Structure 1
Amino acid sequence: MKRISPPPATAHADDIPLAKLRGLGPKSVMALARVGITTVAQLREAGSVGAYEKLVLAGVPVSLNMLWAMEGALSDRDWRVVAKEDRLWLLTELELRGISP
C-alpha cells in the first residue's frame, strides 16, 4: 500500500497562499479555513487525507473531488490525475480512519 510521504520537490513552498495552489479555488480555501487550515504548511502537515477527515468531522459538505484536489495541490498534479492514479490508496486511507466518502 502506498504511504503518505512528503510532497515531491516540485510542490509549492509553504509561503504561497492556498488559493494559488493548483486545483484549490476560493470555495476550497474557505472550507479549509473552517477547520483551521489556512496555510500551505498546515495543509502539508495534515496531508490530504487528514484535511479531508477534519472537513468531514466538522460537518463541512465535501466530495471526493476535494480530496483529489488537495492531494493534487500538495503534489502539484491535476486532480483528475490524482483521481486516476491514487484513488485506491486515498480511499483505503479514509477507510482505515473510519471515514466514509
Structure 2
Amino acid sequence: MRLPIETLPNLGPKSGHWLREAGITTIAELERLGAVVAFRIVKRRQPTASLNLLWALAAGLEGKDWRELEEITK
C-alpha cells in the first residue's frame, strides 16, 4: 500500500505540501529516495526549508519523533 506522504509522522501541512510540489507523494517514494535526497529536492524549490524538515523526514522513516534523533545522526 502506498501511504500518502502526509501520513509520515512529524510532518505538518506545509512540509507535506512542499514534498508533493517536489513530486514526492508517498512514503514509499520517500523511502526510495532517502531523507537527504528528498530534503535536497525540496530545498531547491523552497529555500526557506530548514534542517528541521530533514530531521522530520529521517525520524519519520524510522518511526520516531524528530526530537528523538541522536545528535550524531543530525
TM-score under structure 2 normalisation? Answer: 0.86
Alignment CA distance shift 1:68-1:83 (3 Å): farther
Q: Which residue of 2 aligns with 1:28?
A: 15
TM-score under structure 1 normalisation? Answer: 0.65
Could you list the runs of 5+ residues in structure 2 that have no partner in the other structure? none
Structure 2: distance between partners of 1:69 and 1:83? 13
**Alignment equivalent of 1:76, drawn from 59, 63, 71:** 63
Alignment CA distance shift 1:78-1:42 (3 Å): same
The answer to whether the aligner puts 1:49 opposite 2:36 as a matched pair is yes
**Alignment partner of 2:69: what SS?**
helix
* Contact persistence 1:68–1:83 (CA under 8 A): no
How many aligned positions are there?
73
- Give 1:15 shift: 2.1
Larger Rg: 1
Alignment CA distance shift 1:81-1:54 (3 Å): same
Identical aligned pairs, as a percentage?
Answer: 37
Structure 2: distance between partners of 1:19 and 1:46? 16
Q: Which residue of 2 aligns with 1:18?
A: 5
Structure 1: distance between partners of 2:3 and 2:28? 9
* Contact persistence 2:3–2:28 (CA under 8 A): no
- Which 4+ residue blocks in structure 1 deviate beyond 3 angstroms? none
Structure 2: distance between partners of 1:17 and 1:85? 29
Structure 2: distance between partners of 1:66 and 1:37? 14
- Give 1:55 shift: 1.2
